[in-house]
Chains A and B, each alone.
Chain A
């Protein structure tokens, strides 16, 4: 079974530029998550989708971050404009269902973003 795919793996941009990350979850997984992991810390949830609807985006900085999952499969996360403090690893995770108790979240390899 293929895992969660993410691209690009690395990205270097200058502050105030825009950047987009792509995630393809495990086939059949209805729930998709985007996490931000700053160096030396654990991942922090940015947004959670159930199919193509948003379940939780309370920690997403909506003035500069946006995410979509239009067809309920792939997802993109965008930052516009980027700030220095956005330098982090952006992890995508997916799980099979939502609303039926605990579900294992499977993580992708992440996109490492450096903002100069």
Chain B
């Protein structure tokens, strides 16, 4: 099945650094979402984007819906240890089925 291209696959950062990850698709989407998944848990929604060009923040997280509707990025500012986890982007057409990326594994050096 179709999956999104998410990069980087993994990253190690120092606490306090900013983080950036992105997602691209060959297809357009009407909605882009960013989830975080902790070990042994299901994905938790961080940010949802509904309009091309939209820039949305949630605390230290900022995400943008690309103008072409085929890409999105997520930034985390001033990372802390609890940011560790796997971040997934997901695209959605009108409703229902989410198409997920393969995830970006974030590890923070204390």
- A contact residues vs B (CB 8 Å cutoff): 4, 31, 33, 40-45, 48, 55-56, 59, 91, 93, 98-110
Contact = CB atoms under 8 A, between A and B. Distances in A.
B43 interface: yes
Nearest to A100: B95
B50 A107 contact: no
A44 B100 CA distance: 7
Interface of B: 1, 3-4, 6, 30-31, 35, 40-45, 48, 50, 88, 90, 92, 94-98, 100-103
B7 to A, nearest CB: 13
A83 B35 CA distance: 29
- A-side binding surface: helix, strand, loop or mixed? loop
Nearest to A59: B1
Contacts of B100: 41-44
Given A45-B97, A98-B96, A104 B48 contact: yes
A93 B4 CA distance: 20
B41 A109 contact: yes
Contacts of B4: 42
A108 B43 CA distance: 8
Contacts of B98: 43, 45, 105
Among B3, B90, B94, B100, find the residue whose CB has the most chain A CB atoms closer than 10 A. Answer: B100
A86 B97 CA distance: 21
B102 A40 contact: yes
Nearest to A91: B42
A41 B103 contact: yes
A63 B40 CA distance: 29
B4 to A, nearest CB: 8
A104 B40 contact: no
A99 B95 contact: yes
Nearest to A110: B42
A105 B101 CA distance: 16
Contacts of B45: 104-106
A105 B88 CA distance: 14
**Interchain residue pairs A-B with the least CB separation, the first 6:** A42-B100, A107-B42, A102-B31, A45-B97, A107-B43, A42-B88
A56 B43 contact: no
